Every structure is written in structure tokens, then in C-alpha cells.
Amino acid sequence: MFMHIIEEINKLCKGTFIENLGIEFTHAGEGFVEAKMIIDETKLQPFGFLHGGASLALAETVASGGSLLLIDRNKYAAFGLQVSGNHIATMGKGTLFARAEIVHKGRSTHVWDVKMESDEKTLISVVRVTMSIIAKKATDRS
């Protein structure tokens, strides 16, 4: 069931900022979702290390994907409300893996804890993401 939804979310991301960053959703289960992002020169700061904004974008994206798994996507949309992260280590190349786990599932907010690791299993960042769950209006296109 979850793999079908992961494929659906990856299709939804085509042609967006998420695709431009190379973020791909990989796994999901009860209360968690995972994604990855290849780290190349387009995600680095001038000194050759991962830009903190790129890792925060991954964190918000994976939490958004998690919220999409928990809501009726025909009636509701999920938007990042707050992103707060701590960068523990850095990396200059490889793959950054993110795992978001739900901390709070309310009617109007979801809170996610996101841990990001390098392909060498080094903890890169820990991020808390609060998602706002908003009812769609009849005029919304998605």
C-alpha cells in the first residue's frame, strides 16, 4: 500500500522545486516516511560543503510527504509552518538520507522529527517540522 503512495508522491513532485533538488521518496510505513537527495555541487555552499538550506528543504519535503500519507489529499493540503534544525556535521558529496517520524498528528497540525544521515551513516542534521493542514477550497487546482 505505501509503495503505491510513494510512487504517487514522486509523480506529484515532477517539475517542481523538489525534483530540481533531486529529492526522491523511497520508503514509508506506519508513522514514518523516508527520502534521499544526491549531494552534488548544486547543493553546496562556496566552501564545498552541504548548504544548510538544502538539508532544511529536504526535511520539510519529507515531512510534507509524511503528512500527505495521513490526510485525505482530495480535501486537505499540507504546508510547512515551521522548520527548525540543527546541523551536526557536514558533507561534500554522496547521498543524504532523511527519515521523518510523526510526533503529533492533530486535525490542523502535524509535527515531525526528521533525522538526516550521510551514506556513511554520519548524523548530518536533526530537524523538527510543523505542518499546517488546511482544507482545500473548491477553487484550488490540486
Sorted by where each starts, the structural domains of the chain and their CATH numbers stand as 2-135 (3.10.129.10)
In sequence order, what are the residues at sequence separation of 6 or more whose Cβ sits closer than 8 angstroms to the Cβ of residue 90? 49, 50, 124
Grid cell, residue 116, equals: 538526516
Grid cell, residue 72, equals: 485525505
DSSP type of residue 42: G
DSSP-derived 3-state class of residue 120: coil
Backbone angles phi, psi at 12, to 5 degrees: -60, -30
Alpha carbon 31 to its chain's center: 14
Pairing of strands 76-87, 109-117: unpaired
Q: How confident is the model at residue 121 (pLDDT cuts 50, 70, 90)?
A: very high
CA separation for the pair 66, 55 (Å, rounded) = 17
CA separation for the pair 131, 91 (Å, rounded) = 27
Which pTM was predicted?
0.93
CA separation for the pair 63, 98 (Å, rounded) = 9
Catalytic residues: 60
> pLDDT tens digit string along 35-51?
999 999 999 999 999 99
> pLDDT tens digit string along 100-120?
999 999 999 999 999 999 999
